[in-house]
Amino acid sequence: MVEPVFEIYGHPFSSYTWKALIPFYALDIPFTFHEVMPGGDDLVSSASPLGKFPLLVDGNSVLFEATVIIEHLAATLPQARSLIPADPAAAVEARMLDRVFDLSIQGSSFPVVAAYMASPDNPDQAVIVKARADLLRAYAWLERYLERKPIPAEITLVTCAAAPALFYADWIEEIPASAPKLRQFRADLLALPAVARCVDDARPFRGWFPPGAPDRD
């Protein structure tokens, strides 16, 4: 039996922890998982500027940010090289899409979560309206992109970013019928075994979702 070399610090309900875990599950890379709460682990608290997870420990290397963790796997493990396209131009486009899912989708979702955390009974409606409008705009952009260039539902940097981002964003502002390709893309990603494992591992924590988790997925 291969002893785990990697250690991952994170939480099963965290979208960015999902992003880091998906390639480990998909590529059957041994690792040890440490479940932590925000600010609840000394290593996590001190390793990055804001003390956030996920965090990867690989020997003497301590790396934070899910994208960096995926890039590290692609750079150091032969079986993970397919996470990043070999063609430089395609790799640049993959990194652009990674930013779209992290910044435009997750970045537009977080203000809604924060608004409910700040005031569960009276969240700031102006914040929520803007965030949902931003999500709809991002959904429309992605729909146009998928019409031109479908993204295969395979484990890559792009899909590792897309799966958790679209999973939670759809709970906040459901992907509309006017974006059928994006809706199908989300469904295809959730059907991937590595993604489905993250979804299942997070089920016990759904009550934590501040706006309220819908009765689906």
DSSP result, 127-142: HHHHHHHHHHHHHHHH
* Dihedrals phi, psi of 132, to nearest 5 degrees: -70, -35
Distance (Å, whole) CA 59 – CA 34 = 16
Q: Which amino acid is at 147?
A: E
Cα dihedral 154, 158, 161, 167 in deg (nearest 10): -60
Q: Do domains 6-83 and 88-204 have the same CATH topology?
A: no
Return the domain boundaries, the chain: 6-83, 88-204
pLDDT truncated to tens, each residue of the chain (217 aa)?
Answer: 455 689 999 999 999 999 999 999 999 999 999 999 877 788 999 999 999 999 999 999 999 999 999 999 999 999 999 999 999 999 999 999 999 999 999 999 999 999 999 999 999 999 999 999 999 999 999 999 999 999 999 999 999 999 999 999 999 999 999 999 999 999 999 999 999 999 999 999 999 999 999 999 9
Q: Is 6-83 in CATH node 3.40.30.10?
A: yes
CB 128 within 8 A of CB 155: no
The one-letter code for the residue type at 184 is Q
SS3 31: strand
pLDDT at residue 2, rounded to an integer: 52
Structure tokens at 133: 């409008």
Q: What's the pLDDT score for residue 41? A: 81
The token duo for 130 is 């803007």
Closest CA to 20 of 74, 59, 60, 61: 74
- Enumerate residues 6+ apart whose C-beta is below 8 A from 108: 131, 134, 135, 138, 169
Q: What is the CATH number of domain 88-204?
A: 1.20.1050.10
Nearest Cα neighbor of 161 from 8, 17, 32, 25 is: 17
Phi, psi of 3, rounded to the nearest 5 degrees: -75, 135
Token reading at 43: 């290593």
CA geometry: angle 113, 108, 55, nearest 5 deg? 75
The length of the chain is 217
